[in-house]
Amino acid sequence: MVNRAFMTKSLAVAMTCAMFGTGAQSRSDSSAATRVLAQPYAQFGFEVLRKLRSEQPDTNIFISPTSIAVALAMTSNGANGATRDAILRTLHCDPQSFETFNTANRALVEQIGNTTAVQLSMANALWLQQGFPVNPSFTQTLQAAYRAQVENLNFQNSAAIQTVNGWVAKHTNDRVQHLLDQIDPSTVVMLTNALAFKGKWTLPFDPKVTHSHVFGTANGAAGEVPTSAYARVNPKFAAFRTVGEITWVCCSDSTWLRTCDT
């Protein structure tokens, strides 16, 4: 069983963002498989976000729902009976279709790895305390379906912390360099997931048309923020909002941009 404090931290810190991308190999089969997870994982992600938001209403929250879901999916392979069913129900997946569930996750991991439109990569790892017995089928499934690295470490040695932190840094392009400060003495198994993303904006921010403007917050306060102004309205814009004398337009990706007066 993974130490709960460690798992919470790893899921919150070691992940950036995820997408159901497009793959180059076996594209139709892969897309069909990942569609099995699209709605359940999206629903799960919104539930996690709402929960975190209710606990930290005044804090900015940035999570990767897909990373959390994949980590739980890997965990479900080490469970059975009521525990496994509870994990799958939390992910809004059918406990009776566990083989399909793993197949779909395998397709998702492969599809992310084959994405070319943006820089996107996912890595999974299973860390075991040296000498701790684990069912071979568990490690085999994680390696085959989730491309997980499996490694035995001495968790009582500080070198184990350096190894895990090094793995995280490598697979997040050094964006996350420090995951662990210590490992709880009772920990015998750890699952980690790291996801790195880098892509270009559909509408890049042009420094020449970016200036500070007043923007109102939800609680009524106002402050100056860097704002990009556009003289033309792109067809992708789907909505308008006027705040005072300023008109904002909403892109298809829900980003609000200030329009020019000319």
* CA distances from residue 168 to 15, 44, 58, 175, 188 in whole angstroms, order as listed: 9, 24, 29, 9, 19
Domains belonging to the chain, first-starting first, are 4-198 (3.30.497.10), 207-259 (no CATH)
Is pTM beyond 0.75 here? Answer: no
Q: How big is the chain, counted in residues?
A: 262
What confidence score (pLDDT) does residue 6 get?
A: 33
Burial state string for 75-100 with b = 16 or more CB within 10 A and e = fewer than 16: bbbbeeeeebbebbeebebeeeeeee
First to last CA, the chain: 61
What confidence score (pLDDT) does residue 20 get?
A: 42
What confidence score (pLDDT) does residue 244 get?
A: 54
* CA distances from residue 153 to 6, 72, 124, 150, 168 in whole angstroms, order as listed: 16, 22, 16, 10, 15
Residues 6+ apart with CB under 8 A from 101: 36, 73, 76, 88, 93, 94
Percent of the chain with pLDDT over 90: 49
Q: pLDDT tens digits for 89-142?
A: 999 999 989 999 999 999 999 988 888 888 889 999 999 999 999 999 999 999
Low-confidence ranges of the chain (pLDDT < 70): 1-30, 229-262
What confidence score (pLDDT) does residue 249 get?
A: 54
Counting Cα atoms < 13 Å in the Cβ hemisphere of 54 gives 6
